[in-house]
Structure 1
Amino acid sequence: MSKAASERDGLENGSSAAAQPPITVIGAGSWGTALAIQLARAGNDVTLWGRDESLMHQLQQDRCNERYLPGSVLPENLTVESDWIRAAGTADRVLISVPSHAFRRVLEQLKTAQGEKLKDLELAWATKGFELSTGLLPHQLAHQLLPECGNYAVVSGPTFALEVGAGLPTAITVAGSNPGWSARMAAALRTRNFIAYTSEDMVGVEIGGAVKNALAIGAGLSDGLGFGANARIALINRGLRELSRLGLAMGARAETFVGLAGMGDLVLTCTDNQSRNRRMGLALASGKSIDEAAEEIGQVVEGVGAARAVYEQAQRLDVRMPIIEQIYRVVVDGVDPKDAVEALLSRELGAGGEHG
């Protein structure tokens, strides 16, 4: 399906088709809860599973995830489930929303729970980031661990969980292993206020989601040090170039990076303080340690691990990524943020010319 056709499909269909099969959402953090609520709003019967039994008990009682998504009520067609086998073992459709470091473990557990049903499973995920130990993207890990499952899709784009939970207008991208499953997953999410476009470029969509988290730490560092709006937009612009270079080296399509999952997600994450990654950069610029900042933020900050994973992937592929290198120096090597950002702004951002 062409990009234009996908966008027409998203704009002209304001609500999802009726009678979709039930879907299980794995992961009851802020984004998993928001996606479960959105799927239920779109008319699906949804089961939400989380590993924290006390949290799941609270969700069952209060019908609201006050810890991670305060103010958003769980619809009646959303069932909270703490039993793994009941949630995942019989599901025909599964959407995983867990941090990247937990993605492998969930896939392994899903393979055991599904057994022979796995070949018919329709699987999607909202997990973003390279696996740190292997450098694999989520779809590569899924192919490796679940080769018998042929229906994969990634859900990504410029979104904040609180706004999705509140029902505010949102647009995302669903990129899948086959157009039919991508379209069905997009339809399962779609309502009048929630537009879901489709793509066949899983590599590009996943790279956009992985790299933007690290770049958002850099934007927070720059703003926290008082370098101003001019420096921020230079960092975002050049960051998009770096993201695109890595993506093209890994087989992605260039047009993906000027869409929602590329430029859209990057700009949102770098400029709004709802972003945990941007807040990490702001905290580091104020003199806090990574541990102090993470405790203050209270949720997983994917950009810390992403900075290392993206830097190492760039090294393996010999891709020049000077902004990522400086962010890596801060979060991995412990370089003073002021020294790293000044080095970047004074030397690296202009290297190679406007199109370098």
Structure 2
Amino acid sequence: MSNRNVTVIGAGSFGTALAMVLDQAGNNVQLWAREESIADHINEKHKNPSYLSDIKLSDSIIAYNDLEQCMQTQDMVVFATPSHTLRDVAVKLKPCLDGHEILVTVAKGIENDSFKTMSQVLVEVMQGTTLEDNIGVLYGPSHAEEVGMLKPTTVVASAYSTRTAKIIQETFLTPMFRVYVNSDVIGVEIGGSVKNIMAIAAGIVDGAELGDNAKGALITRGLHEMKRMGMMMGAHSDTFSGLTGMGDLIVTCTSSHSRNRSVGFRIGKGEKLDDIVKSMNMVAEGVKTTKSVYDWATKNKVEMPITKAVYGVLFDNVDPRDALYNLMTRDPKNEIVM
């Protein structure tokens, strides 16, 4: 059992679920909520009124709305904010840190324009306060709904130092939340981010009733695409056969809990992206990540046809069936290029 002081930044569904895991692992847990009303409700009713609202939280989890208040004597800070807000939240939090804290991000995405992963964003923002070796990530097939119900979940801790990765591992480890260590930070992050693009594509396939054959091919070739990008960025190929590659890809492309698959499904049924996004209470990270990865692939002349097809459907109003036809009629190729 761990016994650390841990603050989770972000009281969304995953932040709430991880607060429960950290509490069960024996830590002193604080949860920062952007809305004061949510923090008050958690402290008074021990339930999050907006996310995972049916789940009873431990009485020992204390919620705050003030960043400075929830950063007293903390050993670890877990960033559970949407990926596109991570930089702004980290900038606001930086003055509250003294540099000894382990910083962990669970946000999955590639930042628009900079093409930085979430850990790279933290390294840049925290320069001068937190050493790179104190920064890590926690990724893997882990829908909040199942984590919150304490269903068996297995994830990966990765960091810029083995010591930090092992601290993350032991801090989160419970009988129902198993944590492996992987030293390939960039591979873990690329896998965990790009799979959201593939989940949108899988949802489109399901929504447009294009069949299981198409989805099987999509998942398999999506893994290949994810691996191609990762290898270009210095990742290890074996990472993409693991939990944050194939494991996360399967879960996100097939689960009814997947926000990204849900977006794709509704697009496949004929809805418009803007209408879908406005109607959602939670963020589908894959939408913004699609733009980042498409721009990165275009800039670096890397072939990522599924990402290109999803980008066309999301941002250029390409009909999903036309996008599939374009994928199916590409020049014949070898499956594996040595």
TM-score in terms of structure 2 length = 0.95
Task: Check if 1:339 corresponds to 2:322.
Answer: yes
Task: Check if 1:93 corresponds to 2:76.
Answer: yes
Aligned partner (choices 84, 98, 101) of residue 67 of structure 2 = 84
SS of the counterpart of 2:54? coil
Asked if structure 1 preserves the Cα contact closer than 8 Å seen for 2:291 and 2:311, the reply is yes
Asked if structure 2 preserves the Cα contact closer than 8 Å seen for 1:44 and 1:77, the reply is no
Partner of 2:126: 146
> Which residue identity lines up with residue 229 of structure 1 in the other structure?
D
- CA distance, structure 2, for counterparts of residue 218 and residue 126 of structure 1: 23
Partner of 1:226: 209
Task: Check if 1:301 corresponds to 2:280.
Answer: no
Cα displacement (A) at 1:342: 2.4
Aligned partner (choices 16, 21, 26) of residue 4 of structure 2 = 21
Superposed, 1:27-106 pairs within 5 Å as 27-88=10-71, 90-106=73-89
Partner of 2:275: 292
- CA distance, structure 1, for counterparts of residue 72 and residue 270 of structure 2: 47
> Which residue identity lines up with residue 224 of structure 2 in the other structure?
R
Aligned residues: 334
Q: Provide the identity percentage.
A: 38
Aligned partner (choices 308, 312, 334) of residue 353 of structure 1 = 334
Task: Check if 1:180 corresponds to 2:163.
Answer: yes
Partner of 1:124: 104
Asked if structure 2 preserves the Cα contact closer than 8 Å seen for 1:154 and 1:175, the reply is yes
Asked if structure 1 preserves the Cα contact closer than 8 Å seen for 2:105 and 2:119, the reply is no
Asked if structure 1 preserves the Cα contact closer than 8 Å seen for 2:67 and 2:93, the reply is no
CA 1:351–1:204 in 2, change beyond 3 Å: closer, same or farther? farther
- CA distance, structure 2, for counterparts of residue 238 and residue 136 of structure 1: 24
- CA distance, structure 1, for counterparts of residue 332 and residue 261 of structure 2: 25
Cα displacement (A) at 1:287: 1.1
Partner of 2:116: 136
**Where does the alignment leave 5 or more consecutive residues of structure 2 unmatched?**
none
> Which residue identity lines up with residue 157 of structure 2 in the other structure?
V
Asked if structure 2 preserves the Cα contact closer than 8 Å seen for 1:249 and 1:317, the reply is no
Query: What are the superposed Cα offsets for residues 36-73 of structure 1, whole Å, 9 maximum, x if unpaired?
Result: 11100111110000111122222222211132112221
- CA distance, structure 1, for counterparts of residue 279 and residue 262 of structure 2: 10
- CA distance, structure 2, for counterparts of residue 274 and residue 342 of structure 1: 28
List 4+ stretches of structure 1 deviating above 6 A: none
Partner of 2:218: 235
> Which residue identity lines up with residue 66 of structure 2 in the other structure?
D
> Which residue identity lines up with residue 181 of structure 1 in the other structure?
T
Partner of 2:264: 281
Aligned partner (choices 308, 312, 317) of residue 329 of structure 1 = 312
Partner of 2:92: 109
Partner of 1:159: 142
- CA distance, structure 2, for counterparts of residue 89 and residue 42 of structure 1: 20
**Mean alpha-carbon deviation: is it higher for 70-79 or for 183-192?**
70-79
- CA distance, structure 1, for counterparts of residue 38 and residue 322 of structure 2: 42
> Which residue identity lines up with residue 47 of structure 1 in the other structure?
Q
- CA distance, structure 1, for counterparts of residue 158 and residue 314 of structure 2: 31
> Which residue identity lines up with residue 306 of structure 2 in the other structure?
I
Asked if structure 1 preserves the Cα contact closer than 8 Å seen for 2:19 and 2:31, the reply is yes
Cα displacement (A) at 1:306: 1.0
SS of the counterpart of 1:84? coil
Query: What are the superposed Cα offsets for residues 291-312 of structure 1, whole Å, 9 maximum, x if unpaired?
Result: 2222343211111111111111
Cα displacement (A) at 1:228: 0.9
Question: What value does the CA root-mean-square deviation take over the aligned residues?
Answer: 1.4
- CA distance, structure 2, for counterparts of residue 37 and residue 196 of structure 1: 15
Cα displacement (A) at 1:138: 1.2
Cα displacement (A) at 1:101: 0.7
**Mean alpha-carbon deviation: is it higher for 176-185 or for 238-247?**
176-185
Partner of 1:9: none
Cα displacement (A) at 1:89: 5.5
Cα displacement (A) at 1:355: 1.3
- CA distance, structure 1, for counterparts of residue 73 and residue 123 of structure 2: 21
TM-score in terms of structure 1 length = 0.91
- CA distance, structure 2, for counterparts of residue 89 and residue 206 of structure 1: 29
SS of the counterpart of 2:192? helix
SS of the counterpart of 1:73? coil
SS of the counterpart of 2:329? helix
SS of the counterpart of 1:32? helix
